[in-house]
Amino acid sequence: MTRDRQVSRRPKKKTAAGRLPIMRIDGARNWPKMLDHLVWFLLRAGVNPEQVAKNVADSLHRHRYTHALEVPRPQVLEYSRVITEWLTDPQYLDEYGNTVALAISGTRMSFRTLVRKALPYEDAGDVLKVLSRYGILRRIPNRRVRLLADTFLPNGQEQAQFLAYTLSALEGIVDTCHANLTHRDPKKPGQVQRLVIAERFDMTRIDEYDAYARKTAHALLAKHDAWLKRREIKGPVRGKGRVGYVGIGIFGFKAR
């Protein structure tokens, strides 16, 4: 999934915190753009505009009593980078390649320095709180923490977290599809968009496929996370440079 914009010749002004603004996919707050793209897709496919308007109105009426959740900040979805950094940086591994327990704070090789390296502008205390709540970290004696899991996936009780992931994924997918349908250069290939589908899948094995997808996707996503992080722009972008939000997501889907 990608999202980009042209950067002007004059460097962007820094924020109050003294840093360049960061682009993020935030489906919970960028929903007007997503809805606009979806309507365009339907009209492009020849669907009657009046029917689109009627169905939208029907959906709004049907779901008028839906309870709203407090969707977490988009930055929280990036806390997985702390796990990636912990798993891949030799400084935080023992001689066998296993992650070592870290002091919560300190100026050298602590959880706080790890967070600062993976997510320079995030609060280490909040990262510790969130990852501990999901069972990814465990506090041990002497104010130390140990990594327990290699993926950041909320449990079934964290519906707001799942909703944030879903909306962000939808924004990325919709943006990518829209870019592929509107680009005009015949020599330029479309942005990343691939599907693997089984049309007669045995649905009694859906849990088996889910486990297989998680297992095989983890290594791929970790490599992409490290590759993308190494190529992020660290300072102002000048000239005709472009800065944007680029990533990859693996989503299983089903229809019955």
Model confidence at 11, pLDDT cuts 50, 70, 90, reads very low
Query: For the chain, what percent of residues have pLDDT higher than 90?
Result: 27
How much is the mean pLDDT over the chain?
A: 81
CA–CA separation, 150 vs 87, rounded Å? 8
Tell the burial category of 253 from Cβ atoms under 10 Å away from its Cβ (0-12, 13-18, 19+).
Answer: exposed
Does 15 score more than 50 pLDDT?
no
Q: Measured between alpha carbons, how far is 102 from 128 in angstroms, rounded to an integer?
A: 12
Q: Are 82 and 145 in contact (CB under 8 A)?
A: no
Q: Find, among 144, 158, 179, 143, the residue nearest to 33 by Cα.
A: 179
| pLDDT at position 65 over 90 | yes
pLDDT, average across residues 235-247: 73
Output the CA torsion sign for 151, 156, 158, 160. Answer: positive
pLDDT per position as a tens digit, 32-50? 999 999 999 999 999 999 9
pLDDT at 135 over 90: no
Poorest-confidence range of 37-51, 59-73, 93-107, 173-187?
A: 173-187
- The identity of residue 211, as a single letter, is A
Give me the pLDDT at residue 165, please: 81
On whether the pTM is more than 0.85, the answer is no
Across 141-158, average pLDDT: 79
Residue 234's pLDDT band (cuts 50, 70, 90): confident
Rg (CA), the chain: 21
Report whether pLDDT(23) > 80.
no
- The whole-number pLDDT of residue 256 equals 63
| Three-state SS annotation for the chain | CEEEEECCCCCCCCCCCCCCCCCCCCCCCCHHHHHHHHHHHHHHCCCCHHHHHHHHHHHHHHCCCCCCCCCCCHHHHHCHHHHHHHHHCHHHECCCCCECCEECCCCCCEHHHHHHHHCCCCCHHHHHHHHHHCCCEEEECCCEEEECCCCCCCCCCCHHHHHHHHHHHHHHHHHHHHHHHHCCCCCCCCCCCCCCCCCCCCHHHHHHHHHHHHHHHHHHHHHHHHHHHHCCCCCCCCCCCEEEEECCCCCCCCCC
Contact 99, 93 (CB under 8 A): yes
Does residue 78 carry a pLDDT above 50?
yes
CB atoms under 10 Å from CB of 61, counted, come to 8
Nearest to 138, CA basis, from 112, 104, 166: 104
Q: Which residues contact residue 76 at a Cβ distance below 8 angstroms, ignoring those fewer than 6 apart?
A: 130, 161, 164
- Between 109 and 52, residue with greater pLDDT: 52
- How far is Cα 55 from Cα 242, in angstroms, rounded to an integer? 39
Query: Which amino acid is residue 62, in one-letter code?
Result: R
Is the pLDDT reported for residue 211 higher than 50? yes
Q: Give pLDDT tens digits for 83-125.
A: 988 988 899 998 888 999 999 988 788 999 999 988 888 899 9
